[in-house]
Chain A
Amino acid sequence: MTEIKNVIFVGLGGVGKRLAEPLCQYLLYNSPKTLVTLIDGDTYEPQNAERQMFSELGNKAEVTAQELKLLFPKLAIEAKPKFLTEDNVFVFVPEGSFVFCCVDNHASRKLLSDHCGELEEAVLISGGNDFDDGNVQVYIRHRGKDVTDPLTHLHKEIAEPKDRNPAELTCEERAAAGTPQLIFSNLKVASEMANAFYVVTERGVAYNELYFDIKTGAQRPVMRRKEVK
């Protein structure tokens, strides 16, 4: 298995929370010295219970870190109760990180993609869903070069996001930005992000984007660019 120093979860909502537990279980037995960092400035609120499981109300990163430490006491887990911004991304996402981008806005996806694009070594796995379909993107940097395309490549909605970083929004604006989601779509994205992690660390790169549609059962992996930049 590829040596993994840092695994970072950005966003502990419907996807990130579902993904964190099996990833920690996997890391405990396959890469037990990995530092797991959970980043989220948002809080669990009663209305989140429809799609998300949490033991108490409070900051999502801190509550999830507490829960995971109970389940995996031998794993190093830390919480950063902040939204990822231009001011802290350099501190929170260091060289050599495996990053799971589980956010609900394209502005944060662009921020992470741009930042990873400046690192020598990084793996960024980003997932997102609409109501009953979604996608997973895999952006790999190795020796200062793109092995796969950044999240912004051919995705204008990420390259030129119309939404804003949640750190720039009020609580009311964040609540208003929420749209109906299906728990099964969240589960599918989380599962495919975990699969992408396994593929990257154990098998090599097989695709840089994967689409799915729950309604039709269709799924398609894509490797768009054959040449390495």
Chain B
Amino acid sequence: MTNTTTESIFLPQGQTLEHMPIKVSCGPTEHEFEMPIGITVESVATNPYYREIVGFKGNETSVVNGQPVARDYVLSPGDRVEMMKEAGEKA
């Protein structure tokens, strides 16, 4: 009989779904999420749930632990992802 759990649909056979804490910020807002191991910055940037909670657009410069990274950067447990908010222009 075929295993039809959610995990078996998205993960290679025999691999279990594990999560890791990742902090995501944009401007004044920062939240910690439990994210699947192996997730990329691109997946975070395009995820509507994270976008809604943290308040980013998805096209911002991506920064991990203070350094700019490519969108295919694979996140590690404890990483801090920042979607760079533009500086206020007026004064």
> How far, in whole Å, are A186 and B88 apart by their CA atoms in the complex?
11
Q: B61 near A: Cβ within 8 Å?
A: yes
Cβ B29 vs Cβ A130 within 8 A: no
Sorted from nearest, which 6 A-B pairs have the closest CB atoms? A128-B88, A134-B88, A218-B28, A224-B66, A15-B91, A211-B28
Q: B38 near A: Cβ within 8 Å?
A: no
Interface SS of chain A: mixed
Cβ B87 vs Cβ A128 within 8 A: yes
Interface SS of chain B: loop
Cβ A211 vs Cβ B91 within 8 A: no
Query: Which residues does A use to contact B, with CB under 8 Å?
Result: 11, 13-16, 102-106, 109, 126-130, 133-135, 137, 151, 154-158, 163, 179, 181, 185-186, 189, 211-213, 216, 218-220, 222, 224-226
Q: How many residues of B contact A (CB 8 A)?
A: 18
Q: B78 near A: Cβ within 8 Å?
A: no
Cβ B89 vs Cβ A219 within 8 A: no
Residues of B within 8 A of A16 (CB): 91
10 contacts between A and B (CB under 8 A): A11-B91, A15-B91, A104-B90, A130-B89, A130-B90, A135-B88, A185-B88, A189-B91, A211-B28, A220-B29
Q: B27 near A: Cβ within 8 Å?
A: yes
